[in-house]
Amino acid sequence: MLTAIQRLTGWTKKDAVSKLTQKKYFLLKFGLGTCPCALYHQPPLGLSYTSGIVNRTGYKAEADGEAVAKLKTSGAIPLLVSNTPELCCCFESNNLITGRTNNPYDTTCTSGGSSGGEEYR
């Protein structure tokens, strides 16, 4: 995760570790501080923007969406775009581009939910 944060922010390893461990950077006034996050269906600039549709394979976001821009302004650090069902129209993350997102503890089950298992513990 540290490498992804460095790539997205341009921080050196020392700066990234320092900022992520300082409480004042973690939660700014009603903001997200330097909170890493995963996104789906609203990818940040340069990340996959397929919505699980085969014909969109290889598409990358040409700009940040409005929601992503607001998250970044609040200090969030988008790290990835998670798997989604085609057009986000199903209750589990399964599409013909990336396949099914499985539960890591029992691969006979899905991760649960359309967000590709983002609700991890």
- What string of pLDDT tens digits covers the 121 residues of the chain? 566 667 767 778 888 777 766 655 555 544 555 667 777 667 788 888 888 889 999 888 899 888 888 888 877 778 778 888 888 788 778 889 888 888 888 888 877 766 665 544 3
Structure tokens at 33: 């501080």
* Cα 32 from Cα 72, distance rounded (Å): 9
User: Which CA distances in Å does 98 have to 12, 31, 72, 81, 94?
Assistant: 32, 33, 26, 12, 7
Q: Is the pTM of this model over 0.85?
A: no
| pLDDT > 90: percent of the chain | 2
pLDDT digits (tens, 9 = 90+) for 9-20: 777 888 877 776
* Cα 70 from Cα 93, distance rounded (Å): 26
